[in-house]
Structure 1
């Protein structure tokens, strides 16, 4: 096994130093490539993971929970109007939101359709695992969803965690945090006007334990799957969304009380009711 590791390091170093000044993105891409040697390494890692009883148990109990916190049950999901074709065709980023409240029922639908458990699998040993509405490498689901509530009916402002397995919100903290969060972003208007700001974190080792460095790619792919779900479900619910990339990572991690290493923010989405006033189109793009 050591010879494979050394050969892998040799190939990686060769790729890294082909350029005099490689970027971090190039280093990441080169060091997570698979070849004859790293495929064998990955096979070894997979075999090690699936034979570990602790890993198996952790995989069945996917999802983070805060058992001591106050919680609020989501309402049962309702049927969505329209079809997937309409949602895909009409979806676009919304940068101007109405001051109206999002209903609690609509928020519940958004969470359940975009990221909830859609079906349960019971195995021969009576263990149970739940599959969500988006794909995940190895069905390990390393992503966690937090919500900064600004304007949702029958729900206090504050920070909440979506407990997917039990389908309820766990209250991390209450109070209006908009002014504090605004300072951590390039475009603070989106945060100020949105009804909900969704913050997605990743617990990386849930995936990298099994897939090694390659697993980091899987985590980022999963973020994309989840974000597209949120955008399309929001469109079907007559909500608007806008992905946000310009935020201060460490400060948001601190806000969510995560360490920024084992679990860290990997994406953010502003969600709200589109404003009938103001221009929600992108300059230079023709809209019928």
Structure 2
């Protein structure tokens, strides 16, 4: 079904319609992988295995290093980095540690809008310019397959609502005027953290935008782009004096139901929790 964005009609077909096929292919590896890798309340326990770190000292040591070393190869030393000076010279490029302890203070809607614009907004804004507008992140083919949704109190009423970020008009479109705390807590693991975050940015992928051109590779491009948006958003939050934590421990079906998306062609990818550090 088409929907209007500004004066431009935007269609959201399934990607296979661009392949001149009447039906989707019987085997879609990207779709099968995406579905198999979703978190659900009843399956999350078997999809994660944190206990193995404690049971396997060698795995724990390797995971703590988080980098590969090739000592058998010749080495060329690089000039030493003065971390204190570099941090002062390039504060916007050095991300703070993740924050998981927020105050209850709502974030100003003006600053929320700025954070969204800095992470995935359209710029520069020209009234006569047609999409695709430039964005703060690189995108395969400039196809921009992501959509951002904001779960926050933007009205000052103390009630959190869910809003879609319309990047071309730089407005929030109201999906739900109120989302109760209990529903937020049920959305994923660590319910106390979810409920305490003053704002949650949900990053969803509209995969056909990449896949009609890049097929299976287009799915990977969407994931890469989501990572770039997370980095932009956490750095934007830092510049505003906020804390932030990327948070993927959400139940896909709960997020997709809340956002009123189908979970197949348009599906949840990741989230970032925002707030003022306690």
Partner of 2:124: 119
Q: Which of the numbers 252, 255, 264 marks the counterpart of 2:255?
A: 252
Partner of 1:149: 152
Q: Which of the numbers 179, 195, 200 marks the counterpart of 1:197?
A: 200
Q: Which of the numbers 185, 188, 191 marks the counterpart of 1:185?
A: 188
CA RMSD of aligned residues (A): 2.8
- Whether the 8 Å contact between 2:207 and 2:222 is mirrored in structure 1 is yes
Q: Is the alpha carbon distance of 1:151 and 1:96 closer, same or farther for their aligned partners in structure 2, counting shifts above 3 Å? A: farther
Q: Does 1:100 align with 2:100?
A: no
The number of aligned residues is 196
Partner of 1:43: none
Under a length normalisation based on structure 1, what TM-score does the superposition of the two structures give?
0.62
- How far apart in 2 are the matches of 1:162 and 1:224? 18
Superposed CA offset, 1:215-260 (max 9, x none): 1110100000100000001000001111111111112111111000
- How far apart in 1 are the matches of 2:258 and 2:131? 33
Under a length normalisation based on structure 2, what TM-score does the superposition of the two structures give?
0.64
Secondary structure of 1:169's match? strand
- How far apart in 2 are the matches of 1:157 and 1:248? 19
- List gaps (5 residues or longer) in structure 1: 1-23, 29-81, 276-288
Superposed CA offset, 1:133-179 (max 9, x none): 11111111110000111477478521100000110000001124221
Q: Does 1:261 align with 2:264?
A: yes
Superposed CA offset, 1:188-223 (max 9, x none): 122111111111111101101000101111010000
Partner of 1:9: none
- List gaps (5 residues or longer) in structure 2: 1-28, 34-86
- How far apart in 1 are the matches of 2:167 and 2:261? 18
- Whether the 8 Å contact between 1:199 and 1:265 is mirrored in structure 2 is yes
Deviation at 1:115, TM superposition (A): 1.3
Q: Is the alpha carbon distance of 1:121 and 1:157 closer, same or farther for their aligned partners in structure 2, counting shifts above 3 Å? A: closer
Q: Does 1:243 align with 2:226?
A: no
- How far apart in 2 are the matches of 1:211 and 1:83? 41
Partner of 1:162: 165
- How far apart in 2 are the matches of 1:151 and 1:163? 15
Partner of 2:96: 91
Q: Is the alpha carbon distance of 1:204 and 1:83 closer, same or farther for their aligned partners in structure 2, counting shifts above 3 Å? A: farther
Task: Show the 5 A alignment for 1:1-288.
Answer: 85-119=90-124, 129-150=132-153, 153=156, 156-275=159-278
